[in-house]
Amino acid sequence: MDKFMKQAVELAIENVRNGGQPFGAVLVKNGEVIGEGVNELHIKHDISGHAELLAIRRAQEQLQTNDLSGTAMYASGFPCPMCFAAMNFAGVEKVFYCASLEEAKNVGLGKSALIYEDLQKQPEERELPMVSMELEEEMVNPMKLWKGFSKQ
């Protein structure tokens, strides 16, 4: 097993021993760790406190950039949809993981699998329904406003 994956798994093991979930993550660029994290849901009331997201936040803060091109994430478990999306937005180029969605589901951590399934449905058919609404005519459209500012 790769040394970075060992580190992610060791972080997960330590997190379980400290009352947390079995998730650890290590973000690597050019053979060096630039961020790491464990699920901190048991420490803070923050549902976004996932290992991968914390590794990304720490790396972006340290490097003062949103662009994590050239990086690889090592995660002890298959990333949830939220972490998957964040890695895509940040430019993470490859993800390595150990535990599968099925393994997580078998130990009572199956929400990610359900969300991945739900995302295959039409927005209005999802467990969390999404309803499109139109802006009122007199309102400024923030998307058009941004487009105008982004060209300056």
Return d(Cα 109, Cα 111) in angstroms, integer.
6
> Can you state the angle between helices 51-63 and 81-90, rounded to 10 degrees?
20
Given a contact cutoff of 8 angstroms between Cβ atoms, the answer to whether 105 and 115 are in contact is no
Given a contact cutoff of 8 angstroms between Cβ atoms, the answer to whether 41 and 21 are in contact is yes
Q: Is 52 a catalytic residue?
A: yes
Among residues 40, 52, 61, 134, the one annotated as catalytic is 52
Residues involved in catalysis: 52
